Chain A
Amino acid sequence: MDADEIALLAETAEHVFAGDDPERMVAELAEAGIGDPVADPAVAAALLGTQGRVVGRSTLLDLALAGDDHAGGVRVVLPLPGTWRPPGSRDGGAIDVDGIVLIPEKATRYLVHTGSHVVPVAPEALHGGPVEGFDPGLGAHRVIGTLPSGAAAERAWHRVVGTGRRAIAHELAGAGQRALDLAIEYVGTRHQFGRPIAAAQAVRHRLVDAHVGLEAARAALDAIPADPGGELGALTVKALAGRAALAAVAAAQQLCGAMGFTAEHPLHAVVRRAYLLDSLFGCAEDLEPEIGALLAARGARSAPLVAL
């Protein structure tokens, strides 16, 4: 896609996310002939980056994670926030399930991964239900239950984790940018001590640091090719985007002052979303030692992820 088509896609996405049908974006993509929302970084930024920026919700992640198993109404059960173990675990002849579903409405089938396999189940087969938690706007359901070991297809969990990390990294970059935009707008319009808050060097430098982190995350998302088997690449973009987004929301929470602490100001929704996204498939803080351990295990054999 050329730059104009990407811009149009981002515009369409923003319009769709403003509506209240979380399945519509995937339907629009099917019409446009786009089957994978994360393979092309520019497409992913236009779709998932925009979703993060407007704090939207859609079944884009289900489309990316289900791959060939995708169909209308299919939802992939995600690991509990902060973890990346498969939500299904085999216990003798049965499968214990504990995970979350981001878009439970209109779901007809849940896909439960066990690490080596995926098991399709009817939503009614699991109990649990809506949880507000840290980010009520997410509208997620916690799903818990025990399934008989039924028809299962072989699906490697690490591919789901890799794709999920890449997709959510794009969304985090968008959420972080929104927080930064809100902060820049606020400090530019509010005056204290006879000048805009933005004139203070301490304020300016904090915003610049947030910007630099987001630029780094976007550059990495753009430059590191999507490779479902490449664990390090997905870890890298997710950790960079998570750190950058959290740094941006922390800066925004400080610099938007009391206004940013109100329910009326849009910042809190971005803050909630950023922390929740960072925790899906592992928080940046937990991924850093994972990366270190992976590199130490490889020794000196790691070539740079980014080609010239």
Chain B
Amino acid sequence: MRISILVLLALIGAAPAVAQSPTAGSWQAAMQRLRRAPLLGPARARSIIVESEPNDTIATADSVGFGDRAVGVIDPLRDVDNWFVDLTAGQLFSVDVDAAVDGSLLDATLVLVAPDGRTVLAFNDDFDGFDSRISFRVFASGRYYVKVSSFGRSQGSPQSTYAINFGAVTCSGAGTEREPNDAPGTATPIAIGDSGTGEICPVVERPTGDVDYWGFTAQAGIMVDLQVDASASLVADPTVRLFAGDGTLLVFNDNFLGAGSRLQFSIPVTGTYYVAVADAAGFADPFPYTLHVRDIAPGPGDPITVRARDLSVPLGLAVGNTGDLFVAELTGSRIVRITPDGAKTTFATGIPNPLSLAFDASGQLLVTSVDGAVYRVTPQGQAARFITDAIFPIWVAVGPDGRIWVTDLGDRSLRRYSATGQFETRFDGIILGGFGPGPLAIGPSGDPYVSVGSEIWRLRNGQFERVVRDQLVIWAFAFDVAGNIYVPAPTGGSIKLFDSTGAVLADPFALGPDAPQAVAFGRDRTGAMLPRLFATDPQIGQVFEVNPAAVLHPGLPGYVTPPFSARAAADGLLGAGGLTDADLQYLDAVGNHNGRYDVGDLRAYLRVLQGSNR
């Protein structure tokens, strides 16, 4: 589970350091702020090593020594550089990449592998800005391996250069914390609704143990939620304490779920409060962490009901035409089917790190994968690569005309495909700012909407227009039939509700058990949409439902498989009638979109049906 969270963070690191400064208004702003923070440095390097290709595997890894500095380049696309270093038991080892900070195009990721060459000990994507770091105390002597690649293995060019330092970290303050902050008097300020990042320094640096204090002001009567997420390190075990302004300890938590810590507290008096983050053991290894400070007043969608547990980082969510929920287990690399009565079964396997889900025009399930493909899964659960020309497809949705929309983090675009998977066109998402386009949904008009961070934009007639602007990062939202938008804001630990113009209807609409990430409306056993809203909460492995009494309308139906056969489609073309105007519009939309139903549309529709085995 811990590994799972790491991978999720890698992806949310798509969500780029997302969480780290939501009130800054955009992920880019968060990045800039992080980059201004002082950087940690390793011990002085003894020598500089230059990578020697090929070094794409453990077997061909380049050799470095403790204290070395090395340089390399991730080129070509999907390149992975492997390094090995011999370490001794008890040694505190830190490996730190400098790339983006020096102007490289590389958004690096790091993986530390055990001497067996297989076991992943630690993973990191964005530690300081886009650059990565892992700190780890070695349990056993041996040869350890470090893998450097681009995020999602989506980059690679002569400009993707990096330097990498192998040694011991000196802790000088990273992220948004301001050292020294070891006492309430020097606490780093943080606002409710914001997130802060820091590092618990190694005992070699602070023999008495490092404690980071954060200070915030709160109004009497609110319920604050304090969550410390240190899942980017396998060795992390943070604790969290809340103190009153006079130093009185109010509440403490260690290991709320796994090794993470979280507590909730009703503020009795308006004033200043302090949060202390420390290591549970008080002398263990350094680790980075993120502190979330939230106001968790319940919304109309509370209380929530957990519908499924013990999932391996459930991210994407879709609802089938018999009411079953389909969940993408990010680290389980499988699709799980959950019946309305809560029974879980494996629907499909063989899809590496599935992200998002959507049913296509043929009733098959589309799945975006970290491996760069959109997979298609038959109703029998057989998965095959389907769309392969995107670089890093993160989210997928299907329009009412059956067309497939994909957001590609690789080139930051929104891509459109025919119902049968033929690429049609792309729309540049870089112009939108933020860090998207990311999560994607189809609105009532059939237009695609994308999240670019803390905003949702609509593509209408080939032009983007902003619909929602919020303070928090927005993940995978969903529309009801009235156009209202249910928006998960994981850094806020909540789901918000906006109307079709972007005005807030409820904030929060509901509180997640932790950090809700994707929402989807339910269906009954006939496929009819229901006023029931489900959500995934990846960090705690749950799927939950908000209070149905507060859900205003049924969900937007999205694509519905047309109820006619190839014979009926052909008869309609050959003058026998039998098709409605809506059918004809659909057939044209599946095909060539020229405003009438023609033989090209029939040709396209036959492919749709072949895909569905009808």
To the question of whether A and B form a pair in one complex, the answer is no
**A residues touching B (Cβ–Cβ < 8 Å)?**
none
